[in-house]
Chain A
């Protein structure tokens, strides 16, 4: 077992760090304050190839592994949680299911523009009455001739109004399962601008405020029959498998937020003086920092392990990574919340102000315990595997 990164990964980290420091960090406060989607940053990430890192070159991506992608999200999140989730939702929740479940025509049609960043992707599963209970959804798709007609709405959609391509889930019928009638769910690719597809309210959020989080509304929205993603009735499995991968992205985001808060706290406690010495000289501070760093390191190992396991899956589909992904997200998200809370505490009154970025990081951290499966859902996934 070797915990050292390859030279390629080290160089990739240098690239992501340099980009994050130079292009993303200077805008992070403004993005949070104005709640505006950082379009210019996304354009720069597009140029640098960050929007299609794990997508094969034949579909216009960078052809790198999942670990490289996770490291990109991690480094972006160290300076701006919003920018990190834009990349994560686009890559894991839109590019990945099209790559995994799309027909060759669908891959050729959508992936080159998505992987190059020319178009942005999003994913719509959650509904007002269907969060953790994904089976509770109401959006319906009915086949009429050569078209599926979608009716319903999706909420809390990351990259909502900025995206161009959406992976949407809808009920396509009822089927009998173990003697009970259950909803048959299917996945679809929906393009922005399709008649009947509109946007509802923009969410006003606690954190990741520059992320474009919208309600998507479908009113007699007609999409070509060929835009069904995967087989009819396999939507629930597609959604769950997609979220397994998405969790690695969110775990990497949480990891980065925690590490970013730790970096700022290490700098602050060496500058801030109380009782005639730097607060870093007090044992309480030292012990807090030690705990924060240890947990961040543990989270990093778990996130990298999950990413490497997904890479194994790419080579051999018998490998499963859902438990690794759930553990990484559960631990990294809770670490991010704990570390950012401690970071604010160690910053004292200044930490509570918007001038010091740990305040924003604490707000950004919270969502990582909620979206793409709450921490409770992760515990369900992990324990279900233990007790099967």
Chain B
């Protein structure tokens, strides 16, 4: 069994978000982490490795510095790391990113592709499903539990107040939620091995069946006008009132804030 996991190096928002003067994220000035949903996806793949001896290949697209996130994945137990990096791929939105990753994955044998649901810096949840679309394979998103049954996967897909149980024949793509599992720690020896291992680096020329017009900034239909830090919510206000009084109270508050 072969599993490909897509991971993204994202800013660690715990260390504070920093911006360039033009409003874009100053990624170089921020500490980085492996995107939490992706890490859960990697853990799911590593459990398949523990259980079925699956081979786990981790793919990331980003600056050369994104190699770190591949080393981390390998220190956790992934077998191979592939870094897709090229100047012409810069400035990609979800469309161009999914085209790039699909172009890279076309070079690989796989039974299962796992991506995180969404990255904490973009919050779009589009890249995973788009990759499946480009590759022409089924997708099951928002996985909270994954099981293998013969040549199929059975996945619990999280929903607002319930979950759906879906079965899909492999090859297919699953997008993972951080709640899927508790990712393992790297091991100290794994870290040193990961730095000894070779990372495969691919550029534009290595991407299979992708048009230039679908790559990088030029291939991105979405343009980011401005990025901003999350607006932190205040503590709110708690009041204990009778239902009749509380309706009036809330209405007055909404009027006060010009919501209604």
Contact between B188 and A72, CB atoms less than 8 A apart = yes
Interface size in chain B (residues, C-beta < 8 A): 14
Which of B68, B72, B186, B191 is the most central at the interface, judged by chain A CB atoms within 10 Å of its CB? B191
Counting CB contacts under 8 A, is B71 at the interface? Answer: yes
Shortest Cβ distance from residue B10 to the other chain A in the assembled complex, whole angstroms: 15
Instruction: Digitize B178-208: 1 where CB-to-A-CB distance is under 8 Å, 0 elsewhere.
Output: 0000001111111110010000000000000
Counting CB contacts under 8 A, is B75 at the interface? Answer: yes
Instruction: Give CA–CA (A48, B183) in the complex, Å.
Output: 12
Q: Which listed residue (A6, A12, A18, A47) contacts B188, Cβ 8 A?
A: A12
Contact between B187 and A7, CB atoms less than 8 A apart = no
Contact between B195 and A64, CB atoms less than 8 A apart = no
If the complex has contacts A8-B195, A11-B71, A11-B75, are A62 and B189 also in contact, measured as CB distance less than 8 A?
A: yes
If the complex has contacts A11-B71, A11-B72, A11-B75, are A64 and B192 also in contact, measured as CB distance less than 8 A?
A: yes
Instruction: Give CA–CA (A8, B72) in the complex, Å.
Output: 10
Interface size in chain A (residues, C-beta < 8 A): 20
Instruction: Give CA–CA (A53, B191) in the complex, Å.
Output: 12
- Residues on the B chain within 8 Å of A205, using CB: none
If the complex has contacts A7-B195, A8-B195, A11-B72, are A49 and B184 also in contact, measured as CB distance less than 8 A?
A: no
Counting CB contacts under 8 A, is A50 at the interface? Answer: yes
* Number of cross-chain contacts by CB at 8 Å: 50
Shortest Cβ distance from residue B64 to the other chain A in the assembled complex, whole angstroms: 13
Counting CB contacts under 8 A, is A237 at the interface? Answer: no
- Residues on the A chain within 8 Å of B189, using CB: 49, 53, 57, 61-64
Q: Tell me the chain A residues, 65-124 only, with Cβ under 8 Å from chain B.
A: 68, 72
If the complex has contacts A7-B195, A8-B191, A11-B191, are A18 and B72 also in contact, measured as CB distance less than 8 A?
A: no
Shortest Cβ distance from residue A252 to the other chain B in the assembled complex, whole angstroms: 14
Contact between A64 and B188, CB atoms less than 8 A apart = yes
- Residues on the B chain within 8 Å of A50, using CB: 188
Contact between B188 and A49, CB atoms less than 8 A apart = yes
- Cβ-closest chain B residue relative to A18: B185
Instruction: Give CA–CA (A7, B74) in the complex, Å.
Output: 14
Contact between B75 and A47, CB atoms less than 8 A apart = no
Instruction: Digitize B33-73: 1 where CB-to-A-CB distance is under 8 Å, 0 elsewhere.
Output: 00000000000000000000000000000000000100110
If the complex has contacts A11-B71, A11-B72, are A19 and B185 also in contact, measured as CB distance less than 8 A?
A: yes
Counting CB contacts under 8 A, is A27 at the interface? Answer: no
Shortest Cβ distance from residue A14 to the other chain B in the assembled complex, whole angstroms: 9
Contact between A11 and B187, CB atoms less than 8 A apart = no
Contact between B184 and A15, CB atoms less than 8 A apart = no
Shortest Cβ distance from residue A131 to the other chain B in the assembled complex, whole angstroms: 34
Shortest Cβ distance from residue B46 to the other chain A in the assembled complex, whole angstroms: 13
Shortest Cβ distance from residue A83 to the other chain B in the assembled complex, whole angstroms: 15
- Residues on the A chain within 8 Å of B184, using CB: 47-48
- Cβ-closest chain B residue relative to A72: B188
- Residues on the A chain within 8 Å of B192, using CB: 8, 12, 62-64, 68
Contact between A62 and B187, CB atoms less than 8 A apart = yes
Shortest Cβ distance from residue A320 to the other chain B in the assembled complex, whole angstroms: 26
- Cβ-closest chain B residue relative to A55: B189
- Residues on the A chain within 8 Å of B71, using CB: 7, 11
Instruction: Digitize A1-31: 1 where CB-to-B-CB distance is under 8 Å, 0 elsewhere.
Output: 0000011100110010011000000000000
Instruction: Give CA–CA (A68, B185) in the complex, Å.
Output: 16
Contact between A15 and B186, CB atoms less than 8 A apart = yes
Shortest Cβ distance from residue B30 to the other chain A in the assembled complex, whole angstroms: 15
Contact between A48 and B185, CB atoms less than 8 A apart = yes
Contact between A15 and B195, CB atoms less than 8 A apart = no
- Residues on the B chain within 8 Å of A7, using CB: 68, 71, 195
Instruction: Give CA–CA (A49, B188) in the complex, Å.
Output: 7
Instruction: Give CA–CA (A111, B190) in the complex, Å.
Output: 19
| 29 contacts across the A-B interface (CB closer than 8 A) | A6-B195, A7-B68, A7-B71, A7-B195, A8-B192, A11-B68, A11-B71, A11-B195, A12-B188, A15-B75, A15-B188, A15-B191, A47-B184, A47-B185, A48-B184, A48-B185, A48-B187, A49-B188, A49-B190, A53-B188, A61-B189, A62-B189, A63-B189, A64-B188, A64-B189, A64-B192, A68-B188, A68-B192, A72-B188
Leading 5 A-B pairs by shortest Cβ distance: A62-B189, A49-B187, A48-B185, A62-B188, A8-B195
Residues of B within 8 A of A (CB): 68, 71-72, 75, 184-192, 195
Residues of A within 8 A of B (CB): 6-8, 11-12, 15, 18-19, 47-50, 53, 57, 61-64, 68, 72
Given known contacts A11-B186, A68-B192, what 13 new A-B pairs fall within 8 Å (CB)? A8-B191, A11-B71, A11-B72, A18-B185, A19-B185, A47-B185, A49-B189, A53-B188, A53-B189, A61-B189, A62-B192, A64-B188, A64-B189
